[in-house]
Amino acid sequence: MIIAVIREMDVMNKLLTTSSTLSPYQHLNLKREAKVKVNVLGVFSSLAMLVSTSVTAVPAIAAETSHTSQQQPNILLILTDDLGYNDVGFNGSTDITTPNLDELAANGTSFSQAYVAHPFCGPSRAALMTGRYPHKIGSQFNLPTKGSFVGVPTNEQFISKLLQNNGYNTGAIGKWHLGEAPEFHPNARGFDDFYGFTGGGHNYFPEQFKAQYANQVKLGNTNINHYILPLEHNGKEVDENEYITDALSREASRFVEDAATDDKPFFLYLAYNAPHVPLEAKQSDMDMFPNITDEKRKTYAGMVYAVDRGIGRVVDSLEKTNQLDNTLIVFLSDNGGKLSKGASNYPLKEGKGSVYEGGFRSPMLFHWPKQVAAGQRFEHPVLALDLYPTFAALAGITIPSQKRLDGKDIWPAFSAGEDPHKDELFYVLRHRKGYSDASVRRNQWKAVKQGDKPWQLFNVEVDLNETNDLSKKHKTMLIDMVREMEKWSWDNKQPLWFHEAYEGADWRLKGMPRFDQTFSTSK
């Protein structure tokens, strides 16, 4: 086995030193693989009794041990807003640099096929917190734009509440977008500490939004744009004076450092609103990208860089307080990047709002020293819906029997490098005016229904851009997948709210959801 590893390293070194045809990303991947081989050799040297064990099983042994360990890990869940699949270095970006995220990926495992449950912000976040498809709980639309007393149903226990009830110190920093009324507030949904804003977004420069807010108050307005409201800390307004991304990073570092003085493990949900619009970046961050000439792209790049810079600050706090080794860091986006606002989802098709890959496939990584394999790329599909049961299992928590979940604990399969969803189906459904876009995937096959077009079928493992429709060649398989999704849809709930009032009127006038049309395969 050692000889085989040495031979693989020799091939890698020759490629690294002699090949001029490697792309920067391929070169980086080869370097990462070589680093892992060195680590593996070290393990074999010190543990000669394991010579007969396969190389790929080494990280799995460590991870399996942690899965049953009595020590509960800290969990840091970092969520960005509208980040493009191709807008981080570890996913191949050539113009936007993300050194801190790339370092986490190099020392951890990144995912090529990570999927969120919906291509829009609010429903995706509802799924993340509840472990349910948003359609199953009536949360399939963004919350109303002008404020409301509705929110994700309180009978759905959030992962934060489960962890809090089982000894975790819990914090939420940043964007909420899951309900503004007291019963839906983060402090009521399992978070001990909340710093941020409850609406769907926020402006970034305090000197601008504070002046706008003061003017609205002076005019006597009470229904004020959420994007300019004061931030809050546990329900009390705060006078924030930093660029918002930097402020959220500061507060996350504060939480991490405070947590080091507590004997409890922590769960921190760090939900940046960047790079969601409005496109507002610090000049110093935009200056990091002199080669980007498109104004939107340059501003967007500056916003992404600020997030990366902030993540570096939080990781520094973990290191400084000796908590990094016992912290699982998970990074992802809530949906695909918005192409009209500077994002890139290359090589995926379309972007935010779409049921094609660019709408809901997200950049994602796991980092946990000695528990997550370093420098690896996990090539099987994983779902944001899986995080709820996976976190619970890692914390040694039994999920209440009455709590329904749509994902699964992926840690054993992840640790073994196996497909956690082999032969299983997963779904994305986005309602529009009078019709629904839908997609269903099983293994390499993905069926897509967009607008009034007939169902299409793609092999997304070889056709990332979803251009080669194979529906006629595999008609029976296509119909079977569509029928399975139709069956899945029967217990979907009617929406509890709509983003805009006209959407609710259209829903009723058009007799939605009209699944008889969505799942028709007669064309």
Tens digit of each residue's pLDDT (9 = 90 or more) over 176-218: 999 999 999 999 999 999 999 999 999 999 999 999 999 999 9
Q: Distance between CA atoms of 178 and 311, rounded to whole angstroms?
A: 24
Instruction: Provide the percentage of residues in the chain whose pLDDT is more than 70.
Output: 86
pTM of the model: 0.88
Reported as a pLDDT band with limits 50, 70 and 90, residue 27 is very low
**pLDDT score of 5 more than 90:** no
Reported as a pLDDT band with limits 50, 70 and 90, residue 290 is very high
**Residues ≥6 apart with Cβ < 8 Å to 317:** 252, 253, 256, 257
Q: Distance between CA atoms of 464 and 286, rounded to whole angstroms?
A: 30
Residue with tokens 């429903």: 123
Q: 13 is written with which tokens? A: 């070194």
Averaged pLDDT score across all residues of the chain? 90
Over the stretch 386-442, which tens digit does the pLDDT of each residue have? 999 999 999 999 999 999 999 999 999 999 999 999 999 999 999 999 999 999 999
Backbone CA torsion sign across 439, 440, 443, 444? negative
pLDDT attached to residue 70: 54
pLDDT attached to residue 265: 98
Mean pLDDT on 110-134: 98
Mean pLDDT on 344-350: 98
Please indicate whether residue 474 is annotated as part of the active site: no
> Between the CA atoms of 71, 256, 362 and 364, what dihedral angle is there, to the nearest 10 degrees?
-50
**pLDDT score of 160 more than 70:** yes
pLDDT attached to residue 146: 83
pLDDT attached to residue 57: 32
pLDDT attached to residue 147: 85
Q: Distance between CA atoms of 354 and 351, rounded to whole angstroms?
A: 6
Q: 3-class SS at 420? A: coil
Catalytic residue from among 118, 135, 177, 421: 177
In this structure, the strands spanning 436-442 and 425-431 are antiparallel
Catalytic residue from among 27, 67, 118, 121: 121
Q: 340 is written with which tokens? A: 């009209």
pLDDT attached to residue 192: 98
Instruction: Provide the percentage of residues in the chain whose pLDDT is more than 90.
Output: 86
Please indicate whether residue 121 is annotated as part of the active site: yes
What is the DSSP code string of 213-276? Answer: HHHHHHTT--S--GGGSPPEETTEE----S-HHHHHHHHHHHHHHHHTTSSS-EEEEEE--TTS
**pLDDT score of 55 more than 70:** no
- The residue type at 458: F
- The residue type at 353: G
Q: Which stretches does DSSP call E strand in 308-433?
A: 327-333, 361-367, 376-378, 382-383, 425-431
Q: 216 is written with which tokens? A: 């609205």
Reported as a pLDDT band with limits 50, 70 and 90, residue 223 is very high
Burial class (CB within 10 angstroms; exposed 0-12, middle 13-18, buried 19+) of 71: exposed
Reported as a pLDDT band with limits 50, 70 and 90, residue 171 is very high
Over the stretch 58-92, which tens digit does the pLDDT of each residue have? 333 333 333 434 589 999 999 999 999 999 999 99
**Residues ≥6 apart with Cβ < 8 Å to 482:** 440, 447, 449, 455, 519, 521
Mean pLDDT on 358-386: 98
**pLDDT score of 500 more than 80:** yes
Of 18-32, 373-387, 427-441, the range with the lowest mean pLDDT is: 18-32
**pLDDT score of 175 more than 50:** yes
pLDDT attached to residue 512: 97
